Amino acid sequence: MASARDRTGPADAPRICCLDLDTFFVSVERLLDPTLEGKPVIVGGKPGGRGVVTAASYEVREYGVHAGMSITEATKLAPKHTAWLSGRGTTYSDYAQRVRDLAERYSPVIVIASIDEMFIDFTGCERVFACDDDSGPDETIYRTVAELCQAVHDEIGLPSSAGIATSKVVSKVASGLAKPRGVLLVPKGSERDFLGPLPVRKFPGIGPVGEAKLRAAGIETLAQVAATPSNQLEKTFGAWGSHIKRGVLGLGSGDLGRERPTFREHDPAGTTVGSISNERTFREDVNDPSSIESKLSSLCERVCWRARKRGVKARTITLKLRYTDFLTLSRSKTLAPTNSELELFPVVRDLYVQARTRKTPIRLLGLALSNLGLFGQLDLFGASTETLHDVVDDIRTRYGFETMQWATSRKPTKNVRT
DNA sequence: TCTGGGGTCCTAGGACCC
DNA sequence: TCTGGGGTCCTAGGACCC
């Protein structure tokens, strides 16, 4: 019989799990409509729209379609019988929450990375899950995570994959390679062998730009990154350089780090969110001042409404502007904390005037609130505006955001075309 | 009918204060 | 009066992730 010490294992054995839901949005859609099973499915946008693909099923990936691809291109590649779905945000959030609740039965230490991905720390859980056999800590955690994935499937109906390693980065790469419906454990000490053959793009944080820079230096695989001196990597990547190298060597942090956004707007704990933003690409590029003005006003209402729902005020407001030719710029202003569109709209107008230096039509407008802070229930100086917001917010909470609008947000009446 | 929308984090320069 | 350094805040931009 194994001793308790054997079961617990060394403290630095693999214990970080990255749990990732496979083609999450597509899987939820299939739960709600089983006739989609086995068919090519695209979530996000409609053929002919200006958007990009949010999620693509494996069946449609075979044709070269992937998340992030423009709808235009996906329309050309996807087969005729593809199901195009526009997606439903709150339903996805509800399912994501159910998976989190389930995962909490396995470990109390969970960090939400995104709607379909979380990190679970199993430190100290080995003893709880250990069986009365000779299995070591690696077998124990592997079996436990496999059970968790099975439970996600049996109880909620969603397919998932998981990676287990000594650090967050390695567990994340492992979960990606485990897809679909797999569990992959990278034993301590074998991180370099595991990552080495992979192209640099597989490493979280290396995107198209980083990949291009590394290629220019003759580096294409993670093994080559591992063999490159840290100071050389730092020249191209700054502080990031040594971070990447440590990760590749398996020396990444085994700490789960800071909590990411929770995606629960009304959750008081959701105040960990560092910014609130809304942006909109116009169906057609615009140039007329009244359309622009009403869009700015409605964006302003939207972000302020979300801030109030969350019980936060912002100190910084940022306006984002994208022209037809994709030139994108931002202008920001820091002021006294507020979440009132009545206070912010004049500032937004000023920022727009500062930003709009060209006559080129506009493709996108966005607003972001940042520098967020909690505020007390009592605000002696803003009492009257707040009462007004309370009334508006109450109606919106009951009947939806669109039911109430300031006059400035009204869309200009269009000329009737004949 | 090329290129969404919600975020995070980092960098770099300038202003300002001590 | 000159010279300089460090810290912090603000602003703008960009890479990256899902």
> CA A22 to CA A157: how far, in whole Å?
12
Which of the 183-222 residues on chain A come under 7 Å of nucleic strand C at their beta carbon? 204-211
CA A416 to C1' C18, in angstroms, rounded, equals: 41
Q: Residue A251 and residue A248: Cα distance in Å, rounded?
A: 7
pTM for this entry? 0.85
Residue nearest to nucleotide C10 (CA to C1'): A334
Given a contact cutoff of 8 angstroms between Cβ atoms, the answer to whether A224 and A251 are in contact is no
Please count the CA atoms within 13 angstroms of the CA of A171 that sit on its side-chain side: 30
For CATH 3.40.1170.60, list the domain ranges present in chain A.
24-88
Region(s) of chain A under CATH 3.30.70.270:
7-22+91-248
Q: Is the dihedral of CA A130, A135, A136, A142 positive or negative?
A: negative
CA distance A312 to A308: 6
- CA A290 / C1′ B1 distance in Å: 26
In chain A, which segments carry CATH 3.30.1490.100?
276-417
Domain A24-88: which topology? Answer: MutS, DNA mismatch repair protein, domain I (3.40.1170)
Give the separation between CA A405 and CA A167, rounded to whole angstroms.
48
* Unique residue bearing structure tokens 């109450």: A394
A334 Cβ nearer than 7 Å to chain C strand = yes
Helix (H, G, I), strand (E, B) or coil at A42: strand
The CA distance from A339 to A322, in Å, is: 25
Give the pair of three-digit tokens for residue A99: 């998976």
> A36: Cβ under 7 Å from strand C?
no
pLDDT tens for each residue of chain A, 418 residues long:
333 333 344 557 889 999 999 999 999 999 999 999 999 999 987 887 888 999 999 999 999 999 999 999 999 999 999 999 988 888 999 999 999 999 999 999 999 999 999 999 998 776 777 766 677 889 999 999 999 999 999 999 999 999 999 999 999 999 999 999 999 999 999 999 999 999 999 999 999 999 999 999 999 999 999 999 988 888 778 778 888 888 899 887 777 765 444 333 333 443 456 899 999 999 999 999 999 999 999 999 999 999 999 999 999 999 999 999 999 999 999 999 999 999 999 999 999 999 999 999 999 999 999 999 987 543 444 455 667 787 778 788 877 787 778 888 877 765 544 3
Measured distance CA(A103)–CA(A281) in Å, rounded:
37
A51-CA/B1-C1' distance, Å: 11
Q: Which CATH number fits domain A7-22+91-248: 2.60.40.290, 3.30.70.270, 1.10.1060.10, 3.40.50.300?
A: 3.30.70.270
Q: Count Cβ atoms within 10 A of the Cβ of residue A217 and give its class: 0-12 exposed, 13-18 middle, 19 or more buried.
A: middle
Fold exhibited by the domain A276-417 = Dna Ligase; domain 1 (3.30.1490)
